[in-house]
Amino acid sequence: MTDRQRPTRRGGDKKEETESKQETTEDTTDVDDLDDLMDEIDSVLEENAEEFVKNYVQKGGE
């Protein structure tokens, strides 16, 4: 499968900071990552959600 370019991480500085504080690294990284992920999702989500959802009608099957 294709190798996709991932958007650059936001808050790189923040990450460096947390790396020095071992005990908080995991949680903070997770929150950062979820934040990044939601940025990415916002950018790939079909535009015009109303229209997209309205048009998605499936009939027949099984």
Partner 1 sequence: MAIHKVLGTETEFGIAAMTDPDFNPALASAAVVNSCPVPGVRVQWSHDEESPERDARSHGHEGFGVSDPQRALVNSVLTNGARLYVDHAHPEYSTPECYDPLEATLHDQAGVVVAHRSAVAATERIGHRLALYKNNSDGKGNSYGSHENYLLDRQTPFGTVIRYCLPFFVTRQIFTGSGKVGSENGRPDIDYQITQRADFFEEEVGLETTLKRPIVNTRDEPHGEPGRFRRLHVIIGDANLSDVQIYLKLGVTALFLAAMEDGAIPEPLDLADPVEACWRISHDIDLAEPVKLLDRGSATAVEIQMRYHEWLSDYAEGLDEAGQWRPVLDEWLSVLTDFEVDPDRTADRLDWVAKRTLVRAMIDRHGLDPQSAKLKTLDLQYHDVDPERSLHRRLLDRGRMRRLFTDEQIEAATLQPPERTRAYFRGETVRRFPDSVAAANWDALVLDTGERHLKRVPMMDPLRGNKSKTERLLDGAEDAAALIEALGGNE
Which residues form the interface with partner 1 (CB under 8 A)? 1-2, 4, 6, 33-34, 37-38, 40-42, 44-46, 49-50, 52-62
* Helix, strand, or coil (residue 45): coil
13 vs 44 by CB, closer to partner 1: 44
Least Cβ distance, residue 24 to partner 1 (angstroms): 19
18, 28 contact by CB (below 8 A) = yes
Amino acid identity, residue 33? D
Amino acid identity, residue 42? D
Least Cβ distance, residue 59 to partner 1 (angstroms): 6
